[in-house]
Copies of this chain bind each other. A is one copy, B any other.
Amino acid sequence: MLIVQKYGGSSVANAERVFNVAKRIMRTRMEGNDVVVVLSAQGKTTDGLIAKAKEINAKPSRREMDMLLSTGEQQSVALMAMAISAIGGRAVSLNAAQVGIETTNTYSNARIRHINTERIENELDEGSIVLVTGFQGVNAIGDTTTLGRGGSDTSAVALAAALNADMCEIYTDVEGVYTADPRVVPDAVKLDEISYDEMLELASLGAKVLHSRSVEVAKKYNVKLVVRSSMSEAEGTEVKEDVKMERMLVSGVAADKKVSRISIMGINDEPGKAFEVFSLMAKEKVSVDIILQSTGADGKQNISFTIGEDDLDIALKALEKNKERLTAREIVHDENTAKLSIVGAGMATNPGVAAMFFEAMYDAGVNIQMISTSEIKITVLIAKDDVDAAMVAVHDKFKMASVNMRKAADTEE
């Protein structure tokens, strides 16, 4: 088998952990597999480099940030090669330029376009374990790009797809995908499996276990993806196309506190105003999530939408500059907001799910500001302070814990 493994920064944070991972990699190799390993930067390396940059320039260019940050992964792969060699294995480290991980040109948020597999395949043929820098690529002119925070997951899945690997294992510091954040909901349980679509929703809704783009790529190329712990031997969660076991109504609940809401009040009721607002946001590369448009008693329109809190300043500045053109009376914002979402393939065919969700919120005394739904998820915007209580209430309402535990018991028979 050809197996791609990815280890995050905390799994390689110091020499001891590097050796633990080296042993795990060697075990996989000694079972007769070809092994390609994607590594993140060690522990707090990336944060340290960001701090160094900010000390010098409050708004460093994205190109130079990529140049700076990409060194972290290169250190990881070189050190891991040394560790594998120290325990008798054979490994070679490769950075994105050496592999040929070709990306778009958007510094700090590039997308992989193509991966040359020749160098990796040659090294595998020679019996080496191949260690590849995660998170980074090269653009058309050979400059270094990065895929955004968490992008090493995407590197691993894209490599697995390009190499036609039998499996892609994402090693992390939790044992898999849970029905809710176990730190908030103590009886949250680990899922044995989850579909790509559900995982995609959970990932994009704030469950930090997988980078959402990695799930998109896995779905597109049907990569067998397993999320598991680098610290234990637990089985982990398999992410796949079809989940065979009896479906739960709701697979999980996720929250994202890094959300701000902007409301543009009193816009003239003319065609094209919403288009103008969101064109502006697109031009500033601000991703917009939930959108709500309503007409006030005065016949004017109000447009509200949510964005990532990091984009708030840039979004407000662009809107204020164009306030007149947008015929807006007032632009207000709220930073004390969070998204809470439930995800489950079961909900599409069960109209009672939304009602149960809202009932749980009502029971917990949580006020809902905005609502957004899709085939397999419902998201509400609530106050940040309400998130933990709401998550416990929802988890409890859908009895995700017991459903899953029963399922687990069934599986063991």
User: Which residues of A approach B to under 8 Å, CB–CB?
Assistant: 15, 18-19, 49, 52-53, 55-58, 60-61, 63-65, 67-68, 70-72, 74-75, 77-79, 81-83, 85-86, 92-93, 95, 97-98, 142-144
In the assembly, what is the distance between CA of A144 and CA of B83, in Å? 19
A60, B75: Cβ atoms under 8 Å?
Answer: no
Q: How many copies does the complex hold?
A: 2
The contact sample of 18 A-B pairs, CB cut-off 8 A, is A15-B55, A19-B56, A49-B75, A52-B79, A53-B78, A57-B83, A57-B85, A57-B86, A61-B81, A61-B82, A64-B82, A64-B85, A64-B93, A67-B74, A67-B95, A70-B74, A71-B72, A71-B75
Are A93 and B78 interface neighbours, CB within 8 A? no
Find chain B residues with CB under 8 A from A52 CB. Answer: 15, 75, 79
Report the minimal beta-carbon distance from A31 to chain B, rounded to whole angstroms.
24
Contacts of A85 in B (CB 8 A): 57, 60-61, 64
Contact A74 B68 (CB under 8 A): yes
In the complex, the chain B residue whose C-beta lies closest to that of A100 is B142
Main secondary structure of the interface of A (DSSP, over half): helix
User: Chain B contacts of A75 at CB under 8 A?
Assistant: 49, 52, 68, 71
Other A-B pairs beyond A57-B82, A97-B142, 13, CB < 8 Å: A18-B56, A61-B82, A61-B85, A64-B79, A65-B78, A67-B77, A67-B93, A68-B78, A68-B79, A68-B82, A70-B74, A71-B72, A98-B142
Smallest Cβ-Cβ distance to A97: which chain B residue: B97
**What chain B residues lie within 8 Å of A92 (beta carbons)?**
63
CA distance A61 to B19 in the complex (A): 16
Q: Which residues of B contact A18 (CB under 8 A)?
A: 56
Measured in the bound complex, the distance between the Cα atoms of B63 and A74 in whole Å is 13
A61-B81, A61-B85, A97-B97 in contact; A15/B56 too (CB < 8 A)? yes
Residues of B within 8 A of A78 (CB): 53, 64-65, 67-68
Residue of B nearest to A87 (CB): B57
Query: Given the complex, which residues of B lie within 8 Å of A63, measured CB to CB?
Result: 92
- Shortest distance from the beta carbon of A290 to any chain B beta carbon, whole Å: 35
The complex places the Cα of A302 from the Cα of B77 at a distance, in Å, of: 48
Q: Give the complex CA separation of A55 and B49 in angstroms.
A: 22
Partner of A79, one of B53, B74, B82, B83: B53
Nearest chain B CB to A7 CB, angstrom units = 15
Report the nearest B residue to A133, measured CB to CB: B67
- Residues of B within 8 Å of A19, CB to CB, are 56
Distance between Cα atoms of A18 and B68 in the complex (Å): 15
Query: Which of A53, A63, A67, A71 has the most CB atoms of chain B within a 10 A radius of its CB?
Result: A67
Q: Specify which chain B residues have a CB less than 8 angstroms from the CB of A58 in the assembled complex.
A: 86
Taking each of A64, A68, A93, which has the highest tally of chain B beta carbons within 10 Å of its own beta carbon?
Answer: A64
Q: How far is the CB of A399 from chain B (nearest CB, A)?
A: 48
Most buried by B among A79, A85, A92, A144: A79
Q: Which residues of B contact A144 (CB under 8 A)?
A: 95
Measured CB to CB, the closest approach of chain B to A212, in angstroms, equals 28
Q: What 4 A-B pairs have minimum CB-CB distances, sorted nearest first?
A: A71-B71, A68-B78, A57-B82, A67-B78
- With a cutoff of 8 Å between Cβ atoms, the chain B residues found around residue A95 in the complex are 67, 144
Instruction: List, in ascending order, chain B residues with CB within 8 A of A98's CB.
Output: 142-143
